[in-house]
Structure 1
């Protein structure tokens, strides 16, 4: 695969990020592609490794390694090395309906499983994927291809995130008539409003949605099933219903003074309002939660926390700090985290890179948690107290959180953003569809079956499994569609 000696001859090269101080002036995508001739060379680094873990998508120590979609990575790496971009696209689209999404926002578990990564920098699989699909669009190879025959069966999909879109795309190709209901004013779910424009340009989503509409998928926006649309009527109208509503119930902060405090928002609300205002008016309507001239605190060190950092910097915040309750990862793999496990190493993402360019340091404070929130007479947040924490194992080997004595510290705060993840589906879904929830707060169904306790109602993606990756949600959407297609053809 690729050039037999390519991994010995060529170094890993990825496209450059735009200059941090320049990109802070806009919301355009911050990452640039390599020239195609350079990307071809990166395809040459793919080894004939015998066991391509990159496309395995298996769990090691509870963490995914390799592509959950089982992309035919060595094959299209070989093709781009040979300059056969059209054939590379044909191989890529066999497994991934939306490579323009994953090529931008996926954390690349494929690269974590790359055999070359055992003792050298892994192949640039993610960037190779993005180059293939972007080149295919540029060359006019991605066109609408509606099914030639229809089955007469109708499917409703509630939610238009990556799982819902993948299920819609697959079922439509099977010939079923698919209608997607989305509660927001634009299609895309978390792709549209959960990920900032500088990571995923919304025109990329709209382009794909337009293609799906040409192929026969019907989209209905501002349709919050369970509130302004009757769930029972939809179940009665369609031959199958898929719940792809996501795990959109955010985890809240437990701290003294949290109740009724003004100036505290969940990250998803902060990011959604900013993107909507950006798309509606380029922020001129000022209908968003502004961080301008404010002391901002972000709680949570994951991707969403990073997005809050980057967005707050673009608003022109006065100061910013990001709290992470876990310890700072090491820069290299530890002995208990061997290849091909997901590498638990320090990640400097685009938001931290931008903060460092402005302030000269990383915004993250590790092993830190907020204990108290202080408000003024009007209920507006003024400051917070934090303490340092440590993780210690009990006699059963379970990690327990304890506070470090005499570590209390006070921080000014005008805006506090909670990016602590999600705890499951929103409760009104349960009431509207009468579906059972599991002990984790997700809609109950088994992978591979996807059936809920309600006849002909299925569930996919984060709504079933909890918060996960975009690529995992796409995988679930495809697998559920295959299962539902069999159900409809009985």
Structure 2
């Protein structure tokens, strides 16, 4: 490495946030970038550790020590080539990934890990700023046509890889703009949509065709898709929200997070939305669910002008330190506090919602909760039980259900004759990502269930390799960790 003693000389430093009252006035990104010297110093912290476990922590197999070293030496274009060789969209992951690579960093055994995610974001920004991200047209076309259904990160990654292999790729998206949950689920304060649009310009220049407003199985028949293409890749995501089947769940004021968040994104982007307006303005909001979606609901509620925001999590409060049963380099279930939490949310753990309360007009006015405890026995699933005498009434005007997703919508796979599992994920082998119907492949959340953006990109890349192999007999598209070093 360029700075063998860098991890001893420099402390971990991440981007600061704009003050809360300032950033709540708008939906723009609010991180304050580090100076270039500071980013180079962070790259210098990467150790010559012999076995870089960050590779195993990253689902994409990013060549992390290599691009860290290049950044330290100021070789930004080389860093961009290394990073893009394994990751189609580092500008997305550099903003949105929870960074399992950092938890697997060798330095993280007894010190703060390298700021891999922020370095990745800055490499991507330098690449766009300096014009190094250029369209890569294939040298020749195979004549084969592939339909990619769904334009989230898995679909976009698959489309770009298959286009590089020379196939004619058409991406079908049922909404009016491309991006999937990147556009309609992720709030703009986490990633502004111009970040998506500048990448889409490159993909279109490369020859990928995008068809929006195309709901395959609804306004476009599956027969038409099958007749016009040599292979089909399904990347529609896991979009069925988990419900809370308790008394009062029908009340006005109880909303799914994935009704609330996309509507606000549409409003910010001046796009129309269907249904009644959902707004947290002047309301006491309770967000049920402690994951990333819950955090996004908190930040959005504050920006809409909520009077207060309270967050419930049914799991117990995690520790700041790594739990003993989740040793390095595994991903630990430790306490994570997001920028949205820091904007004034009140957080409660080990709490279960029992009933929603309404007035005579059917409006939500409050809810009832009880404390819960978890019993852990070796070899068994944790058991949940209520703590007697802990019922409590909470006043609230809006409840947002951020409880995760149960799986994929079943209409399209049923029309295609695909097998699904108990969670309504489409069955497709990880060995080649093909479903039970030859020529139909599945990647991302639609196959593996709700997961991370970095897994979606990884699955899109992996599946593209096997689609190419199915069409051509062999494939030169890289698999995980195999850098194809594109010309950026």
Matched position secondary structure for 1:442:
coil
Q: More displaced, 331-340 or 7-16?
A: 331-340
**SS of 2:407 mapped into structure 1:** coil
The TM-score normalised by the length of structure 1 is 0.94
Match of 1:119 in 2: 110
Match of 2:252 among 257, 262, 268: 262
Distance, in Å, in 2 between the alignment partners of 1:395 and 1:299 is 29
State whether structure 2 residue 31 is matched by structure 1 residue 31.
yes
Q: Deviations over 1:402-437 (max 9, x none)?
A: 111111111112211110000100121233322110
Deviation digits for residues 23-71 of structure 1 (CA, Å, limit 9, x no counterpart): 0111011222211111011111110000100011xxxxxxxxx111111
Equivalent position to 2:146, from 155, 159, 162: 155
Match of 2:318 in 1: 329
Shift of 1:396: 5.8
In the TM superposition, residue 335 of structure 1 has moved relative to its aligned partner by: 2.4
How far residue 262 of structure 1 moved from its aligned partner, in angstroms, is: 1.8
Q: Which of residues 423, 437, 444 is equivalent to 1:440?
A: 423
Report the counterpart of residue 134 of structure 2 in structure 1.
143
1:291-323 CA-partner distances (Å, limit 9, x unpaired): 101121111000000000000000111222111
Q: CA RMSD in A?
A: 1.7
Provide structure 2 residue ranges, at least 5 long, that are not aligned to the other structure.
474-488
Contact 2:364 2:397 in 1 (8 A): yes
1:37-436 correspondence runs (5 A): 37-56=37-56, 66-258=57-249, 260-280=250-270, 288-355=277-344, 362-393=345-376, 397-436=380-419
> Does structure 2 conserve the Cα–Cα contact (< 8 Å) formed by 1:2 and 1:77?
no
d(CA) in 2 for partners of 1:380, 1:425: 31
Say whether the 8 Å CA contact 2:28–2:188 is kept in structure 1: yes
SS in 2 for 1:350: coil
Partner of 2:16: 16
Aligned equivalent of 1:358: none
Q: 2:140 is paired with a residue of what secondary structure?
A: coil
Structure 1 residue 285 displacement after superposition: 12
Query: In 1, distance between residues paired with 2:399 and 2:419?
Result: 34
Query: 386-395 vs 223-232, which deviates more?
Result: 386-395
Tell me, in whole angstroms, the C-alpha distance in 1 between the residues paired with 2:124 and 2:298.
29
Deviations for 1:322-374, whole angstroms, at most 9, x for unmatched residues?
A: 1100011112223223211213221110110111xxxxxx5211000111112
Q: What is the number of equivalent residue pairs in this alignment?
A: 473
Q: Are the counterparts in 2 of residues 46 and 78 from structure 1 also a CA contact under 8 Å?
A: yes
Cα distance in 1 for residues equivalent to 2:416 and 2:26? 42
Is the contact made by 1:423 and 1:440 (CA closer than 8 Å) also made in structure 2? yes
Contact 2:263 2:273 in 1 (8 A): no
Give 3-state SS (helix, strand or coil) of 2:16's partner.
Answer: coil
User: What CA distance in whole angstroms lies between the structure 2 residues aligned with 1:244 and 1:211?
Assistant: 20
CA–CA distance in structure 2, aligned partners of residues 73 and 55 of structure 1: 7
Deviation at 1:248?
0.5
Match of 2:460 in 1: 477
Distance in 1 (alpha carbons) for counterparts of 2:93 and 2:125: 12
Structure 2 Cα separation of the partners of residues 444 and 378 of structure 1: 45
Please identify, of 326-335 and 293-302, the stretch whose mean Cα deviation from structure 2 is larger. Answer: 326-335
1:460 equivalent in alignment to 2:460: no
Whole-angstrom CA distance in 1 between matches of 2:15 and 2:8: 21
CA distance in 2, matches of 1:214, 1:240: 22
Q: CA deviation at 1:286?
A: 11
Change (3 A) 1:92 1:438: same
SS of aligned partner of 2:269: helix
Q: Tell whether the 8 Å contact from 2:266 to 2:273 is kept in structure 1 after alignment.
A: no
Question: Is the Cα contact below 8 Å between 1:28 and 1:201 reproduced in 2?
Answer: yes
Aligned CA distance change for structure 1 residues 44 and 287 (closer, same or farther; 3 Å): farther
The answer on whether the counterparts of 1:2 and 1:43 sit within 8 Å (CA) in structure 2 is no
Report if aligned partners of 1:2, 1:48 keep a CA contact under 8 Å in 2: no
User: Runs of 5+ in structure 1 lacking a partner?
Assistant: 57-65, 356-361
- Give the secondary-structure state (helix, strand or coil) at the position aligned to 1:280: coil
Structure 1 distance, partners of 2:162, 2:274, is 39
Aligned-partner Cα distance in 1 for 2:96–2:2: 25
Give the TM-score, by structure 2 length.
0.94
Q: 1:25 to 1:285 in 2, by over 3 A?
A: farther
Contact 1:52 1:115 in 2 (8 A): yes
